[in-house]
């Protein structure tokens, strides 16, 4: 069992170092629940694994699978304990806002970013860091739940991290790749949000069911391996 846990820990760190943040988040979270079937890892170390799972989940590209991972960690009863660990003091608040589609404020972003390792602070081609882009895309979706339309100049101020021109470029990319439903009026500098006709509450319930099932399946698999 100790060898298996060591392998999982090494694999998670490799995924993290290679910026494959979503699978890394899943592996870290699996490790953080090792207390369910073994006492080979100290409780404090398990909390660190939980904190790393949150870090990688937040850094992951916006997707339905990422939302499921955020849900797994959000429902973890140990989440608030991370507030007592300096490295992870901002993690529970940022995670909660991301999972509940609330806007992450600039000061929260800066506090979270200060806890990141060097490889997690890479600057992308658009001049934004990985976490700045991730939070920006998240906030764009959060804003879409509050407004039907908004000027890009106002959007940049509301997001608090970029100017209107960059906000327009990010919105255009998100609309193109399907992560944001809307349209752009370039002449007026307006972004229009188009609510999906799909019943969002039904989708959330479905996601929660899948999340719970996957979590239980992982625990059963690990328990079988340990026996």
The rounded mean pLDDT for the chain is 83
Distance of CA 138 to the CA centre of its chain: 9
Range 21-47 average pLDDT: 86
CB within 8 Å of 132: residues ≥ 6 apart: 109, 113, 161, 162
Sign of dihedral through CA atoms 54, 38, 43, 81? Answer: positive
Range 178-182 average pLDDT: 87
In the chain, pLDDT over 90 holds for what percent of residues? 41
- Element spanning 185, H or E: strand 182-185
pTM here is: 0.77
- Report pLDDT digits (tens) over 190-226: 999 987 654 444 445 445 555 555 665 565 555 555 5
Coil, helix or strand for 149? strand
Q: How confident is the model at residue 133 (pLDDT cuts 50, 70, 90)?
A: confident
In whole angstroms, what is the distance from residue 38 CA to residue 34 CA? 6
Given a contact cutoff of 8 angstroms between Cβ atoms, the answer to whether 200 and 187 are in contact is: no
Task: Please count the other Cβ atoms lying within 10 Å of the Cβ belonging to residue 164.
Answer: 17
The pLDDT of residue 201 is 45
């Amino acid at each position: 069992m100790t060898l298996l846990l060591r392998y999982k820990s090494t694999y998670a760190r490799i995924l993290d170092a290679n910026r494959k943040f979503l699978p890394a988040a899943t592996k870290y979270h699996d490790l953080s629940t090792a207390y369910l079937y073994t006492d080979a890892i100290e409780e404090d170390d398990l909390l660190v694994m939980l904190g790393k799972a949150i870090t990688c989940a937040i850094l992951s590209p916006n997707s339905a699978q990422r939302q499921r991972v955020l849900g797994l960690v959000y429902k973890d009863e140990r989440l608030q304990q991370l507030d007592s660990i300096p490295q992870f003091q901002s993690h529970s608040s940022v995670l909660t806002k991301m999972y509940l589609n609330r806007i992450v404020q600039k000061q929260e972003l800066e506090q979270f970013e200060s806890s990141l390792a060097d490889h997690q602070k890479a600057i992308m081609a658009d001049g934004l860091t990985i976490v700045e882009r991730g939070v920006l895309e998240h906030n764009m979706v959060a804003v879409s739940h509050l407004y039907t339309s908004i000027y890009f100049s106002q959007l940049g101020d509301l997001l608090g991290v970029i100017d209107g021109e960059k906000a327009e470029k990010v919105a255009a990319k998100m609309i193109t790749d399907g992560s944001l439903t809307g349209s752009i009026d370039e002449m007026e500098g307006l972004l229009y949000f188009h609510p999906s006709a799909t019943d969002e509450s039904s989708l959330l319930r479905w996601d929660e069911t899948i999340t719970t099932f996957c979590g239980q399946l992982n625990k059963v698999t690990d328990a079988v391996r340990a026996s």
